Amino acid sequence: MNSSSRANVASSFMVIKGAMIEETYAVFATWNFQESKRQNLDRLRAENFIGARSAAWLRDVAHVLNRRFDPGGRDRALVMLAKQGLTIEKWKPLLLWHITRDEFLVRDFLETWLFNAYEAGAFRVRPEEVGSYLCDIDKRGAVTEHAWSDQTTKRVAAGLLKMAADFGLLRGAVKKEFASYHLPEQSFMYLLHAMRDLRLSPGKLVNSPDWRLFLMRPSDVEHELLRLHQFRKLEYHVAGSIVELDLPCASSHEYAEGMMA
């Protein structure tokens, strides 16, 4: 099954296994572009250079990375930045964006349910509330790989909240509360380039639902664009319905190459 065919698959396995932020960063930091994905993951399984706590967890990491990423194609810039030593705090938001390209559950949960709760002024979120959202996931265009038991639904709800916490959107071990989240400037700039790679017009880019992954409204995006324009890091102009945006690089790949220069 190719990655594009998984765009609407709601995978309980992937959510329950989690974000794997540190593991993914460590694997990508040692990735060899001269070898195939299978060769790189075979080396991970053979050497366990990430210090996985068990053979089962090591196998799960390799399986998730195999399904989640295309290091030689769509996700190459993300791998490059780990190899170049971009700090994990700046790298994490980019990881989240790349994960959500074809993980329906994570993307839909963050862009709709969690963002709407944030917009409504919620202070705390509970797993049972997420469970109610998951009961209607098929109505949102999702396809599950198999029927979920009540226990699986509870584990998926807990997994989604934990992923949001791992990426800094929520805080708290048991009771999850909204955190004060700020997208780092370099991460924001990378995401601008990545969204432009999708051939979005400047107006659609500012209003893209992808910003909701970081609890950002269009007004927040515009505020950051105006700030960066003031410091001459990009060109952003608005005249009525006409929006112009000029970025420093031609693609996210080119921007990634220059981020660590």
The model's pLDDT over 10-47, given as tens digits with 9 standing for 90+, comes to: 889 999 999 999 999 999 999 999 999 999 999 999 99
Q: Do 144 and 231 belong to one domain?
A: no
Q: Do 38 and 164 belong to one domain?
A: yes
Both tokens of residue 254?
Answer: 């080119």
User: What's the DSSP call for residue 59?
Assistant: H
The model's pLDDT over 69-122, given as tens digits with 9 standing for 90+, comes to: 999 999 999 999 999 999 999 999 999 999 999 899 999 999 999 999 999 999
Over residues 129-137, the mean pLDDT reads: 89
Determine the 3-state secondary structure of 246 from DSSP. strand
Q: Do 89 and 25 belong to one domain?
A: yes
Q: Give the contacts of 188 (CB within 8 A, at least 6 positions apart).
A: 224, 228
Output the domain CATH number for residue 112.
Answer: 1.10.3540
Q: Which of 181, 198, 218 is the last residue of a domain?
A: 181
Q: Which of 133, 149, 181 is the last residue of a domain?
A: 181
Output the domain CATH number for residue 215.
Answer: 1.10.10
Determine the 3-state secondary structure of 171 from DSSP. strand
Q: Do 134 and 9 belong to one domain?
A: yes
Cα–Cα dist 23/81, whole Å: 15
Structure confidence at residue 59 (pLDDT): 96
Q: Do 4 and 106 belong to one domain?
A: yes
Find the domain containing 90 and state its range: 1-181
Determine the 3-state secondary structure of 237 from DSSP. strand
pTM: 0.94
Q: Which of 133, 150, 181 is the last residue of a domain?
A: 181
Q: Do 236 and 147 belong to one domain?
A: no
Asked if 102 and 119 touch (Cβ cutoff 8 Å), the reply is no
Confidence label for 1 from pLDDT (cuts 50, 70 and 90): very low
Q: Do 52 and 101 belong to one domain?
A: yes
Q: CA separation (Å) from 225 to 202, 205, 228, 233, 244? A: 11, 11, 5, 9, 11
Backbone phi and psi for residue 155, each to the nearest 5 degrees, phi listed first = -70, -35
Q: Do 247 and 223 belong to one domain?
A: yes
Q: Is 105 exposed, middle or buried (0-12, 13-18, 19+ CB in 10 A)?
A: buried
Q: Do 114 and 166 belong to one domain?
A: yes
